[in-house]
A = this chain, B = another copy of it.
Amino acid sequence: MTPFFASRWITKPDHVTELPGSGLPQGFRAAGVACGIKPSGAQDLALLVSDVPETTSAARFTRSGVLGAPVLLTMERSDLEHIRAVVVNSGNANTATGGMGLDNAAKMQGSAAIAAGVGSERAVAVASTGVIGVQLPMYEVTRGIMAAAHELAADGDQAFAAAIQTTDAFEKRARLQVELPSGTVNLTAQCKGAGMIQPGFATLLVFVQTDAAMSPETCDLLLGVTVKRSFERISVDGQLSTSDTVILQASGASNITIGPETEDELRFGEALDALMRQLALLVAKDGEGARRTGRVVVHGGSQELVESVARAIANSPLVKTALYGGDPNWGRIAQAAGAATAGLAPVPLDIAIEGVTVCAHGAARPFDAAALTEAVQRDEVQYEVGLPGDGAETEVFFSDLGHEYVTINADYTT
């Protein structure tokens, strides 16, 4: 089995152990069923519940100005600090569906609250992913929620993960055991999203569970910090989904409590950080036929500038096609960096690819082109860019841009 932590860019902390197979942290059950939304007949309805009434949670959502009905509903009508159940459908994003779409999301929330036995619909988060502008088939969805409730199981995470996917080429799921000073806790996650944003929006959905106990504030702090360092650090095609949702739930069933500003919090945070970064990298890696993943590291004197330069490089179709082609064309890195530093010319750029300096202080440097060409044809390619000054640094992971992207996206609805 390929280990979950397979990238040279992400280090598994020593106190984290990968577990094989399936199985959720104590207190959680999940299921995934086929209810008939996807024409293929594949699994498309997923339900996950914590049986512990004291479960705490935190959530993050897309910042898009065009929101799917489930995102609007969950943001406004769920108690985000006490999410016990998550209901998800794939195959239909319930976006641009007007008032009926909101009603349908509310029906999903209510049905899931009853089916999962969590009492209040405010304890339920709803997520949908798939095509947009089409109303959900509510008879099938409701029946699917009931069917999923009957199949809820402590090892239902694999079925849950399958039922939230759309065009993902591989499963994105992890099971970790985390050794803390106060004891051992479990940490699992299921993620949906493909490296190039896919037809139907390639929503990013991430659900994370732990049996550690923590306050909603700790949940929120840990999720906020780790999302910033993971899912906010990937560039697929620079697009922003209408439905991105990330939820962390802590059942507390392990009886290990993570207090604020403790060694437990620090070490749990390290585990969560590695988990989230590796999942985010898997999203960047998963594009149908995507060949390579890039990582750009930019350092300099201004955090704002290193951030915008890193984004410009990671989103540049010229850089992405060069990555796809296994082409060490560093001029494109310079061009993208130039666009992000508009008005600041001349910027004395340093550029290195796979550790080889190709441009120093804005001028080309001789390098072994054959060796570098070979280096950029591996699965992961690293670019480093230096701007003037010190103290600020950032990274972005990104996928390449190839023929498969065009084929998939040019021919989706016709």
Interface positions of A (Cβ within 8 A of B): 63-67, 72, 95-99, 101, 131-134, 197, 199-201, 237-242, 315-318, 321-322, 324-331, 334-347, 349, 358-359, 361-364, 373, 401-403, 405-407, 409-414
Q: How many copies does the complex hold?
A: 2
Q: Nearest 7 CB-CB pairs, A to B?
A: A65-B341, A66-B338, A325-B410, A98-B363, A133-B364, A240-B339, A321-B409
With contact pairs A240-B338, A334-B242, A335-B242 given, residues A324 and B406 touching in the complex (Cβ less than 8 Å) = yes
Residues of B within 8 Å of A63, CB to CB, are 342-343
A362 → chain B closest CB, angstroms: 6
Residues of B within 8 Å of A241, CB to CB, are 335
* Sampled A-B contacts (29; CB under 8 Å): A64-B341, A65-B345, A65-B347, A66-B337, A66-B338, A66-B345, A66-B349, A67-B345, A96-B349, A98-B363, A132-B364, A133-B334, A237-B317, A238-B315, A239-B317, A239-B336, A240-B342, A242-B335, A321-B409, A322-B409, A322-B410, A324-B406, A324-B410, A325-B410, A325-B414, A327-B413, A328-B414, A403-B403, A403-B407
Specify the chain B residue showing the minimal Cβ separation from A345. Answer: B67
B413 near A406 with CB under 8 A, answer no
B325 near A411 with CB under 8 A, answer yes
Please tell me which one of the listed residues B199, B322, B343, B359 contacts residue A65 in the complex, with CB atoms under 8 A apart: B343
Residues of B within 8 Å of A413, CB to CB, are 327-329
Residues of B within 8 Å of A321, CB to CB, are 405-406, 409-410
